[in-house]
Amino acid sequence: MNVELSPRLRDTAVGLGAGVPYALKVLAGRLAEEPELGRPAGPPGILTVMVDGDLFEDCPTLRVHYLREPGRIEIRDATPTPSAAPARPPAHEADPAATDALTVREVTDAWQRVTRWLLRYASASHAALRPGADPATLSALERDLGTPIPPALRALWSLTAGDDGVGGAGCLPGNQALMTLDAVAASYRSRVESRAPEDTFRADRPEYDRFTAWQATWIPVISLRPADSTSGLYLDTATGHLGRWSRHNEPPADELDTLVTYLEEVADMLEAPALATRDRPGLTDGALVWSGEGRAWYPLTD
């Protein structure tokens, strides 16, 4: 069952709470298995399901409406329940420094969960991770990119500045890899330089058929493979969300994740494989391999 979020909900979910995008992703996984989980509500095909905010960090209890169609579900909206929705200070009272500090701590905690697991169970994959970058190196990269590197990404790269992989596979779901800083810079330059001719080529297309191949605020972070940057995930520094990019002139695909929720889910899948919704983790000769094959590969179990 294909489960999607409405574009409006993708844009507003994080405003309901930092943990809401992850909670909705977990709900999407459940709906894929149990499409009739909710109760009928209003128009035909619309169902309602509750998300318990106590199960997720920084997430209120939500009333979620979704559209059930043959072979497809669209999660339409999510509303905090009046009794559970905490009083939020006006946006102008938010402390950006405190928000950044929280995000840095969450990224650090999530990635350290991943690396601790690798060190214990997949030593070959752990050994393939590069040391973290120092502040001067990250500042030089920022100047090269010409766009600010968000604190969350700085925190990640200060811990690990890339993954050389094992047997051509990285340690992230889909055997993707955390890109090295050199690869980040090269990929970013390539995408920015190709943007102008692509925009010109699409200028005469109808509005509905246009898309922006690359934005200056998108920083490539994760590649298809350690040595294959034909596609991967970028971090949109303007929104804080991840998106999928491809060198083959395909429209960028939106992702629900922030860097925090993505890394937290990776850690969850390794520590509790039954929670794996993206991919199936396993081991081959001391290396983490996702959805592997062959006699040497065996899946992880709780």
How far apart, in whole angstroms, are the C-alpha atoms of residue 173 and residue 32?
19
203 in a structural domain: yes
Using DSSP, state whether 212 is helix, strand or coil.
Answer: coil
pLDDT at residue 248, rounded to an integer:
65
Domain that holds residue 47: 2-80
How far apart, in whole angstroms, are the C-alpha atoms of residue 223 and residue 230?
7
Same domain for 102 and 59: no
How far apart, in whole angstroms, are the C-alpha atoms of residue 95 and residue 13?
20
Phi and psi torsions of 6, nearest 5°: -65, 145
Using only C-alpha atoms, the chain has a radius of gyration, in whole angstroms, of 20
- What's the full length of the chain, in residues? 302
Contact 155, 108 (CB under 8 A): yes
CATH code for position 252: 3.40.1580.10
Total domains in the chain come to 2
Tell whether the torsion through CA atoms of 264, 108, 168 and 295 is positive or negative: negative
Same domain for 243 and 290: yes
Task: Please indicate whether residue 115 or residue 294 has the higher confidence score (pLDDT).
Answer: 115
Please, is 66 exposed, middle or buried when counting C-beta atoms within 10 Å of its C-beta (0-12, 13-18, 19+)? Answer: buried
Same domain for 72 and 45: yes
Indicate if the pLDDT at residue 44 is higher than 50.
yes
Q: What is the pLDDT of residues 133-188, one digit of tens each?
A: 999 999 999 999 999 999 999 999 999 999 999 999 999 999 999 999 999 999 99
pLDDT at residue 209, rounded to an integer:
42
